[in-house]
Amino acid sequence: MIRSLAAVGAAALLSSLLPAPAHAAVVSVPNATALQAAINAARAGQRIVLADGVHRADKPIKITKSKITIAARRAGRAVFNTGGFEFGAVRGVTVEGFVFSGTSTLSVPAEAEGTRITRTTFNGDKSGASLTVSANDVEVDHNTFSNRTNEGVYLQITGPDGAIAQRTQVHHNYFYNHSFTGSNGGESIRLGYSFKQALSAYATIEHNLFDKANGDPEAISVKSSDNTIRFNTIRNSKGYIVLRHGNRSTVEGNLLFGSGIRFHGNDHKVFNNYVENTGDRAVVFGKGSETDSGPTSTSHDRPDRVAVTFNTLIGTGAVVDSDTGTYAPKDCILANNIIKGSSSKFVDMMSGSTVKYEGNIIWGGTAGISSGYRSVDPKLVRDSNGLLRLSSSSPAIETSAGTYSYVTRDFDPQSRVGKPDVGADEYSSAASRKPLTPSDVGVSAP
């Protein structure tokens, strides 16, 4: 009996030292060479796990099998300084937990639909974008993009010739410390290109934190149509949310500190945003070098039919203004916003602009417009999360003007009931929205 037990123990020990069989649900590998072999032999549903360490690959590891997960054993502990990954024509692959530093690269080509990039760090300077997405239905979540000093964006969403990636989901990422000092080309996210501006991407960029997004005046640069930018936080950054090209995008519920929103193009909706800007230009109606951009134009398109509604805008100088250009904003709306601070002219719109003003509350300086506002203290109070909200006695409560059926919730988000309150906040004693912090996003976030 003793010998039998010993034999069993020896067999168990030997089994633990051997690699898992190819059909196992989890296959653990020690290095890049073994990782490539495991991918080549993988079956759908497998999770292939790479050991901690710095892994040097002479060339990118090729992902040739669909519906598998390729993961670091511990997020942030499996580092590639060279090589990286190269996708083939696969579907439903997840890449999780790696660090791409040095010259290592990762991109998602058009033939790799349904890819997920999660819990991964893109650190330092790259040639081109840190991550490029060209495929449809890609999810980019809980990643960290950090410490870039050269020209190039952290995340580029593009597509094959004549098309743009569809339905990209970008959420809970941490974009940190882009310090490129050039005048252009250091965005945190570039969604499309000028020559793709007429294409509808249907992307959603939400719940991301941007800190020290100083590589470009545009932290999020939208150069395509029909996108949603919502519930993000930007702080300590010169970069704005910018609808640079394209039409019909939504900018909702973002918290911006020292940043702002600028737009060109037609039929956008900008609502429920909170902008606390220590300077001016919280919202900018972009200049018009032309009335409507052609499909490949790089000029600035005049804003047409853009609705800026139910925002809370705090600042000095011209909090809402328009850049000068040949063509003034046309048939736009500025309604039910709270604009507060100190200024000789809060709203400074280019001569010849056709903008409908209604229901705004402007307090602390000169409005700059002759109608469509009340000069009354909105009675804002700062909550425990540092946001200025409506007090119970605020004149903003249930006093909005007009009908804006798309505004069904506020920036928390909680439902707006009855006649909506003016500004980004619907009064409630139970509101709990807070600006995102590094613990809420990135590799280690819940």
Q: Tell me, what CATH number does 122's domain have?
A: 2.160.20.10
- Across 383-409, average pLDDT: 97
Q: How far apart are CA 107 and CA 176, in angstroms?
A: 20
Q: How far apart are CA 96 and CA 141, in angstroms?
A: 10
Q: How far apart are CA 53 and CA 58, in angstroms?
A: 16
In a domain, 324, yes or no: yes
Please give the torsion angle defined by the CA atoms of residues 16, 21, 27 and 32, in that order, rounded to the nearest 10 degrees.
Answer: 100
In a domain, 261, yes or no: yes
Report the first-to-last Cα separation within the chain, whole angstroms. 50
Residue 169's pLDDT band, with cuts at 50, 70 and 90, is very high
Please give the torsion angle defined by the CA atoms of residues 321, 327, 332 and 333, in that order, rounded to the nearest 10 degrees.
Answer: 20
Residue type, 232: N
Structure tokens at 439: 């613990």
Structure tokens at 131: 């991550």
Cβ atoms of residues 16 and 36 within 8 Å: no
- Is 350 exposed, middle or buried, given 0-12, 13-18 or 19+ CB atoms closer than 10 A? middle
Cβ atoms of residues 421 and 390 within 8 Å: yes
3-class SS of residue 89: coil
In a domain, 31, yes or no: yes
In a domain, 424, yes or no: no
Tell me the backbone φ, ψ of residue 71, rounded to 5 degrees.
-135, 155
User: Which pLDDT belongs to residue 396?
Assistant: 98
The CA-CA-CA angle for residues 59, 26, 10, to 5°, reads: 110
- Is 45 exposed, middle or buried, given 0-12, 13-18 or 19+ CB atoms closer than 10 A? exposed
Closest CA to 381 of 362, 367, 396: 396
Q: 53 versus 12: which is more confidently predicted? A: 53
User: Which pLDDT belongs to residue 369?
Assistant: 96
Closest CA to 157 of 218, 118, 203, 114: 203
Residue type, 188: S
In a domain, 387, yes or no: no
Structure tokens at 98: 């790696």
User: Which pLDDT belongs to residue 8?
Assistant: 40
User: Which pLDDT belongs to residue 1?
Assistant: 39
15-24, 170-179, 302-311, 423-432: range with lowest mean pLDDT: 15-24
- Across 158-166, average pLDDT: 96
Range of 131's domain? 22-372
- Residue 7 confidence (pLDDT) above 50: no
Q: How far apart are CA 145 and CA 172, in angstroms?
A: 12
Residue with tokens 């051997």: 18
- Residue 283 confidence (pLDDT) above 70: yes
- Residue 171 confidence (pLDDT) above 50: yes
- Residue 295 confidence (pLDDT) above 90: no
User: Which pLDDT belongs to residue 57?
Assistant: 86
Other C-beta atoms lying within 10 Å of the C-beta of residue 386: 11
3-class SS of residue 168: coil
User: Which pLDDT belongs to residue 278?
Assistant: 75
User: Which pLDDT belongs to residue 15?
Assistant: 40
Number of domains forming the structure of the chain: 1
Q: How far apart are CA 389 and CA 248, in angstroms?
A: 29
In a domain, 407, yes or no: no
Closest CA to 362 of 350, 386, 345, 382: 345
- What percentage of the chain has pLDDT greater than the value 70? 95
Residue 13's pLDDT band, with cuts at 50, 70 and 90, is very low
- Across 27-46, average pLDDT: 97
User: Which residues on neighbouring strands pair with residue 360, listed in sequence order?
Assistant: 373
Q: How far apart are CA 274 and CA 252, in angstroms?
A: 9
In a domain, 295, yes or no: yes
- Residue 328 confidence (pLDDT) above 80: yes
Q: List C-alpha distances in Å: 142 to 174, 206, 330, 399, 443.
A: 7, 11, 39, 39, 5
- Residue 340 confidence (pLDDT) above 70: yes
- Residue 23 confidence (pLDDT) above 90: no
Other C-beta atoms lying within 10 Å of the C-beta of residue 163: 14
pLDDT in tens, 84-132: 999 999 999 999 999 999 999 999 999 999 999 999 999 999 999 999 9
Q: How far apart are CA 229 and CA 204, in angstroms?
A: 6
In a domain, 429, yes or no: no
Closest CA to 107 of 76, 73, 52, 152: 152
Q: How far apart are CA 151 and CA 178, in angstroms?
A: 9
Q: How far apart are CA 63 and CA 40, in angstroms?
A: 8
Write the DSSP assignment of 198-254 as a string of letters.
Answer: TSB---EEES-EEEEE-SSSEEEEEESBS-EEES-EEES-S-EEEEEE-SS-EEES-
Residue 16's pLDDT band, with cuts at 50, 70 and 90, is very low
